[in-house]
Chains A and B, each alone.
Chain A
Amino acid sequence: MLLYNVIESCVLQGAEAGGFILIQDTVKCTGRGLLKCFINAALKRGEDVHVLGFESPETEVCAGLDRSCVQKLHFHKGFPDPLGWTRRSSFTVERFASQHITQLFKDTQQAKASVLVVDSLSLVLRHHDPLVFCQTLQELRKGGVIKTIIGLLHSDLHQQGVVGIVCYLASTVISVAPANNECHSVAKTTRRTKSGKVMQEEEYFSVSEDATLSVQANPRQPGHAQKERDVSEADPTSNLTFNLRLSEEERKAKQKVALPFVFSQEKKSALLKPTPGSGRIVYKPDANDDFDEEDPDDDLDV
């Protein structure tokens, strides 16, 4: 259910603005379907969606989206020329900086909330310094113009450290992986709220042609649950040459034996009451004690 919650509440109220949702995928399983679900949900809520498409054409991203809301979608063409070599793209990778992107939003600012979708952060990371990239992301989040940023990252294209720092910046991380059956994939969602609470869930999901998400029940945890080895305890009192068991009369007689230090109920409860504080030493000096008020360490030059 966490995946549904994340998609539906993609842009929350003003208090949680500045969210950054990261979808991590690998070559084995693509996350672009999930990205389309996010775009679809945002369009249905009437939000302004700007897509920076560096890795896939507009037709592929917009296929299956709801026809009625498509005018809220602004696609900035980067594919097939993300670096601008043949000057056919409207937004190149070098222009991934906070002032250019904010300018894009200001040009088309109408709706109540704006969402930035980056089709692939991997391409941006290959051509920008990770420090500058993170600084840009932070400026975009706190700038106030954009409510949510959703990015797709191919985690097998980068070093572990770089993936780690992008996940550190994100408020929600969704990792997709292939599942055993071909039509579904496994999504592991980690969501960090502002108060520091962390929610994690692993679910099967599949994306249909019209960009709707269907989530199945949680997958079994393979091999994690350690089964308790049922050690059948043998009865130690059997098969002995001497008798260790008690008969009924012997048991009754044993219970009747009067123990020493058996007090009445009230005395026991009184003795068991907790006393406040720890030990105190009360000392009454008698006539022989020479109680000098002076501290003997006073003449030390410390």
Chain B
Amino acid sequence: MAAPVRGMAGSISIGNTTSFQKKTRSKLVSIPGTRPSVQNGQLLVSSGVSSLDYVIGGGLAVGTLLLVEEDRYDSYSRMLLKYFLAEGVVCGHELFLASARDHPDQIMQELPSPIVDDVAGMKISEGQSQPSDPENPDTMKIAWRYQNQPKVQIALASSVRFGHYYDVSKTMEPELRQAAKCHSFYQLQETPVTTGSSLIKVFVKTSLYFQVLASASKVRNVLRLGLHSLGSVLWGDDVCCKDNPAHCHALTTFLYILRGLLRTSLSVAMVTVPSHLIQNRAVMGRIIRLSDTAIALESFKGSEKETNPLYKDYHGLLHVRQLPRLNCLSCEVPDTKDLAFKLKRKQFTIERLHLPPDLSETVSRVSKTELAAGCGTTATGNKHLDF
């Protein structure tokens, strides 16, 4: 059911912003915090970050699994998990959090606080309008109608507001947090077994309990699951330390069972995996195939890209590895694969990485000599063969 992003050759979607909303005629019970997707009618929930919702096709479909490959020091993937859980608290969904390294209560205490201002007002104030002014060197004389447009459309946004904004510098009020029902699972308190058995047991208990409750009370709600650093050593898997791990089947079986359980209930799961530690690339490939939506975060901290002037405004790159095809033949592919993210205080923005055009004279010459050196002999060959 899932398609890799690279395989889509003939997808159209250039401008994805549309203000049409699907008219639903009360066939679907409306659950707070969800909306039907414009493309295929699936019920979507917001992931907490509105630009991430845009990149993965409007939001997370209920019943699917989002896989996040962690960055090297687990700073931004942890932030995404916190946004996901905070969105659940604000929308009134139920939460389930499982982690091995840090206690779930500690993660819950670090949730960012929601900004309650009007989102539309914030958007207007961010795009500062410059009245045309002859003294201002930025104003254009002839094309003045375009002077408030950005030079390149880099911000990704849809015109329909869905999801909330959070302030990272403040943590969520304890009253707001305690109003949400949260189940947690901390690996240290259990006897050390491999991932599959212990987590499955707990999750099955929770989901069955939840479904029984829901069918009894006729109030349907969405359950959001957050699983932090699945596959790391503390979960009891040796996927990260060996080339031929003995426990890789436990991890993949768990993901398969988890996805099956998600499909039969109104749940959404976000799983973060430390993919930079996994030695065997085949295992990572299997994990990606077993999830629905897969993204990877690559932060610039500590790598040589930090000093690259191209990346100076951003904190890292976002790679979309896979998007799901749910009950339809094709999926919504974002029109560019070069995405970069930055974490500001009030927003986690994902933008198109915009390369300025290289106008120097030596550009085309350099590429031609490289090509000639590749297939000809380099010792005596004529490097200046220009066609």
A81 within 8 A of B: no
Check if B304 sits within 8 Å of A224, measured CB to CB: yes
- Partner pick for A273 among B129, B192, B236, B279, CB 8 A cutoff: B129
Check if B120 sits within 8 Å of A277, measured CB to CB: yes
Check if A165 sits within 8 Å of B232, measured CB to CB: yes
Contacts A265-B132, A269-B131 known; A192 to B279 CB distance under 8 Å?
Answer: no
B61-69, B73-81, B212-220, B285-293 - the one binding chain A: B73-81
A138 within 8 A of B: yes
For the complex, give the distance between the alpha carbons of A149 and B331 in Å.
49
Check if B74 sits within 8 Å of A165, measured CB to CB: no
Check if A161 sits within 8 Å of B242, measured CB to CB: yes
Residue of B nearest to A158 (CB): B241
Q: How far is the CB of A87 from chain B (nearest CB, A)?
A: 31
Contacts A168-B277, A259-B141, A277-B120 known; A269 to B110 CB distance under 8 Å?
Answer: no
**Inside 8 A of B277's CB, which chain A residues have their CB?**
161, 164-165, 168
**Inside 8 A of A269's CB, which chain B residues have their CB?**
131-132
Check if B101 sits within 8 Å of A196, measured CB to CB: no
B238 within 8 A of A: yes
A198 within 8 A of B: yes
Check if A165 sits within 8 Å of B233, measured CB to CB: yes
Q: How far is the CB of A125 from chain B (nearest CB, A)?
A: 10
Contacts A142-B188, A269-B132 known; A274 to B304 CB distance under 8 Å?
Answer: no
Contacts A168-B232, A268-B131, A272-B132 known; A196 to B25 CB distance under 8 Å?
Answer: no
Contact size range, B: 35 or more
**Inside 8 A of A194's CB, which chain B residues have their CB?**
106
Check if A165 sits within 8 Å of B129, measured CB to CB: no
Q: Mark B43-80, 1 if CB is under 8 A from A, else 0.
A: 00000000000000000000000000000011110110
A213-236: which have CB < 8 Å to B? 221, 224-225, 231
**Inside 8 A of B127's CB, which chain A residues have their CB?**
274
Contacts A161-B242, A274-B129, A278-B19 known; A231 to B360 CB distance under 8 Å?
Answer: yes
A157-216: which have CB < 8 Å to B? 159-162, 164-165, 168-169, 190, 192, 194-198, 200
B142-150, B249-257, B333-341, B374-382 - the one binding chain A: B142-150
A279 within 8 A of B: yes
**Inside 8 A of B188's CB, which chain A residues have their CB?**
138-139, 142
Q: Mark B112-134, 1 if CB is under 8 A from A, else 0.
A: 00000000100010010111111
For the complex, give the distance between the alpha carbons of A138 and B147 in Å.
57
Contacts A135-B234, A139-B188, A161-B240 known; A272 to B78 CB distance under 8 Å?
Answer: no
With contacts A259-B141, A272-B145, A279-B19 known, what are 5 further pairs, Cβ within 8 A?
A: A131-B192, A159-B241, A200-B301, A265-B134, A278-B17
Chain A to chain B contacts (Cβ below 8 Å), 30 pairs? A131-B192, A131-B233, A135-B233, A135-B234, A138-B100, A138-B101, A138-B188, A138-B234, A142-B103, A162-B241, A164-B240, A164-B241, A165-B233, A168-B232, A168-B233, A169-B233, A169-B234, A221-B307, A231-B360, A231-B361, A231-B362, A265-B134, A268-B131, A268-B144, A269-B131, A272-B131, A278-B17, A279-B19, A295-B23, A298-B25
